[in-house]
Structure 1
């Protein structure tokens, strides 16, 4: 059984997470800008502490002048205050500006870094597959929220809290000597002996803040898990709202509003329920921190009052003692004052760390994929083994090939792995062992048409040219592709922006996807139920066009379809037959 980590070990683990997340930026191509900004911010924080030391000395001179009714010193110190205040304002403004600038640059770099990793090598697709394989609650949940929000929170908290801690440490070092020299010794008798405690105010400040920090930790530590869950529940609720918008027509046709309202209410109930727990936890912590802060205002006066009333110190020294005690106490109370933000920072760090770990897990594939060769102008399936996410062998294919001029129809019962076959051929299915021989131009000139195509939000020309830039094609080429795919009504709407995946009917979306193929002229065309929403005359016209398209490119066509009429447009059929005992569930064989 794994032993639980001690508090110190947990701190070291967390510090290691922060270092691993922060180091890449400060060692990146922007490292000199990042390090320069960080150095400037540190210098300004040190300058702010120095100004605080000067103000502390000013308090003594100014209040002594008031007590002694020394008008000359009074006006002189007021003039000196204007210079100090101006310097403090300059430091405060540029410390804020450079801190925000560093946070912005760091966030921009981290967001770009993780977006690139998420979109590279089909990671966004594989992460979702891995989640489905392990269960919906498996990490990483809501990658969009981790990239959009968690990166922002992490960089903001990291800069703000680290600079706050630096400021607290430097302030403590700067003022502890001042407070020590001002506080004098505390003498008392005990059991017939005389004792003296030098620097009494310093020890009182340490004791006061130590007790406060311990109590704060035990009161506030539930906020770490609550902050983690709050970010997750918020993202789940927002994700479901987006799904209702994306599938609005289907939900409306099914009259599914009551069900969606119930689901949304349930997810929002989780948001509110956890948020209420978080509010109560913060309320309990605020009770203590507010009391702790208010007591700290009068505490130094109570301790130093006997020396003032005895005449040992003047009013200016009393004020200076109070100011120095406040600075030391604020430094030592940094943990108390920032506990809620520390809890949120830790939750955010844990979420990004789990996101990072999910990328690293993808680097160790669950099944080996053999290297392919590019010697022949054909696609040869020497040995293709596909499995389900749980590891169950789904499909095997051996000794099949696709040559220029071929047109093949893949047939089989639903759930036999026809679409997964295409995923394996495309190289995006992670649970695959592939021994394939691919033509040299396969990566550039192969195209897959799914049953439900994707269209980016924007102009029609962008949706039609996707993923290529729209300016690669002339208006004449785009319009001709629309006409040949039976979409003449869209010919004059190339620059119209819309959410085309929602605006177009299912049949129109499939025709627009076929228009893409006509525009791009692939050699190797894979069609997965891409005409299932079309009537038979439209299907016939478009399949005839696709046949001509691959012949013009000296390529091949391979389709998946359930309609018997689609077989008329193919010369060969491959069928998925039940597999042998102990092997894959289905075998792909020539029909």
Structure 2
């Protein structure tokens, strides 16, 4: 892919916040809960997921044990206070020891439950992230995201957004059950000793729940804006790293500093807005908390003064009411937690929905969809019309080309006529258009782009990428391929093929292009597509590289401008700026261009 291509990725260097910011994604509505269900269901319904249910059952069991112990401590607390009033020292110390023992059991159960919950969260994150990576790579979702530009920072979403969602929703089943059991036990106790306090406690908890929801609702948008602003900042920093050399050549540090400062300012502004509103929320919740502290004094202590209850009942009633409030509050805390999780849920769901859309629907736009046929002996097109993926522009129309196995074709023409797009159509990356594409089986083809992809790993892994060969070549074959690709010096510098390095940084573009040829030699492919694949090597090296391909009787389709490429091909597909094209023999093409005015010859 060249920078002057119609769909060069540079065209998508935009703010994440300007990519997709649908207001419908900021609500706790049916769409949100459907996305939560789609997120949770695969992990809990997967094959071999019994261990997760065992962990969840253990988590619930520990919660129930803690609930039962909590109920017993409430009753013991009453007896302990009565023993103090009665000055029953023996009874007091015996009850206190039991109280301490129950407290230790609750503490142990709580610690173990914390560990089990953490283990369950970690396992869920591992499984879900792996699944999300599979979906990101499946159906070439990553490529569709790059083309459409409608999902920002997919790498950050996969790496960072899964954990907050899991943290928010792992404890919900056990929390609901434990809260229900604990509230039931404490309500039963409180109903027998202080009914007015029970009614007031339940009313307080209900009002607190509604108040918590309504005062936290505005933070959905605030959390969304903050998440997107942070993604913008990360995107800007990543862009500097990706384009470090180009920025250095331009001396663009001041320009980058301005852009990054603007993104940082947006991130800080959203944080300040969120912080200011959280201060308001804290004031509101603290004010409501003051009401809670007054309830026992107003509703229970007068009963003791009138002689209707014992002193210990005050402590027991207060303890039971507190446990009810704590239990309900722990559930209410899921409201702001769920609200905070909204942007994380949406950002994960959008990648999954993109994958599902690609897998179940055609990507064709309003001008149609290409049909495809797998052929062993022919590459070509019948009545071929190709458009850019969004249908914005028709590149060429009604083109018919046939390249027989064992022959070679050079695609030429002025810049912007869609030369590289022909290869994208053959590879199945672009599908918008009309006509039929004839292409060989995928396992018999190799594509060599202008800038080869340098993987992270050893030199051996570099040469064997993408690792689809049924039988891996030996180290001797790898070294031989490097020498055939004019990389003798690389072999001398790195005789150990297990050496790992940042190959994209230490190898020049010319060396990277030769790495691509070495991969092609090792692949055993019968059809090779080259997109300006020798633009960074000299003519002599280019001759050696192509000679190795031709000696293997490989079918070649090349995109390029160099006149030296004519000698390695049988035919030329001459694409023109008016959307037409013509296939000619090399001899006819050269005769045609030599008869053309100089201004036309220079465009070929």
TM-score bin, normalised by smaller chain:
0.7 to 0.9
Structure 1: how far apart are the matches of 2:103 and 2:468?
A: 56
> Hey, what does 2:259 align to over in structure 1?
263
Structure 2: how far apart are the matches of 1:416 and 1:77?
A: 89
Query: What is the Cα deviation at residue 508 of structure 1?
Result: 1.8
Bigger shift: 421-430 or 26-35? Answer: 26-35
Change (3 A) 1:43 1:421: same
Change (3 A) 1:42 1:12: farther
Query: What is the Cα deviation at residue 369 of structure 1?
Result: 4.1
> Hey, what does 1:114 align to over in structure 2?
132
Kindly provide the CA deviation profile for residues 42-84 of structure 1, in whole angstroms up to 9, marking residues without a partner as x. 2222222112111111111111111211111111112212431
Query: What is the Cα deviation at residue 560 of structure 1?
Result: 0.5
Query: What is the Cα deviation at residue 370 of structure 1?
Result: 2.4
Structure 2: how far apart are the matches of 1:272 and 1:151?
A: 23
SS of residue matched to 1:472: coil
Q: Is there any run of 5+ residues in structure 2 with no aligned partner, and where? A: 1-22, 590-604
Contact 1:424 1:432 in 2 (8 A): no
Structure 2: how far apart are the matches of 1:77 and 1:586?
A: 96
> Hey, what does 1:390 align to over in structure 2?
390
TM-score (norm. length: structure 1): 0.87
Matched, 1:272 2:273: no
Q: Is there any run of 5+ residues in structure 1 with no aligned partner, and where? A: 132-137, 184-198, 580-584
> Hey, what does 1:224 align to over in structure 2?
220
Matched, 1:491 2:491: yes
Query: What is the Cα deviation at residue 469 of structure 1?
Result: 7.6
Structure 1: how far apart are the matches of 2:439 and 2:424?
A: 15
Alignment map for 1:19-418 (pairs within 5 Å):
19-131=37-149, 138=150, 140-183=151-194, 199-334=195-330, 336-362=332-358, 363-367=360-364, 368-374=369-375, 376-391=376-391, 392-396=393-397, 398-418=399-419
SS of residue matched to 1:531: coil
Matched, 1:460 2:459: yes
Query: What is the Cα deviation at residue 282 of structure 1?
Result: 1.7
Contact 2:409 2:556 in 1 (8 A): yes
Kindly provide the CA deviation profile for residues 444-475 of structure 1, in whole angstroms up to 9, marking residues without a partner as x. 12111001111112222211211118992322
> Hey, what does 1:187 align to over in structure 2?
none
Matched, 1:472 2:475: no
Query: What is the Cα deviation at residue 397 of structure 1?
Result: 5.4
Change (3 A) 1:344 1:382: same
Structure 2: how far apart are the matches of 1:379 and 1:44?
A: 65
Coordinate RMSD, CA, aligned: 2.5
Query: What is the Cα deviation at residue 338 of structure 1?
Result: 4.0
Contact 2:226 2:271 in 1 (8 A): yes
Kindly provide the CA deviation profile for residues 108-130 of structure 1, in whole angstroms up to 9, marking residues without a partner as x. 22111111111012111012212
Structure 2: how far apart are the matches of 1:297 and 1:215?
A: 18
Change (3 A) 1:162 1:266: farther
Structure 2: how far apart are the matches of 1:148 and 1:322?
A: 46
Contact 1:465 1:516 in 2 (8 A): yes
Structure 2: how far apart are the matches of 1:444 and 1:14?
A: 41
Contact 1:60 1:319 in 2 (8 A): yes
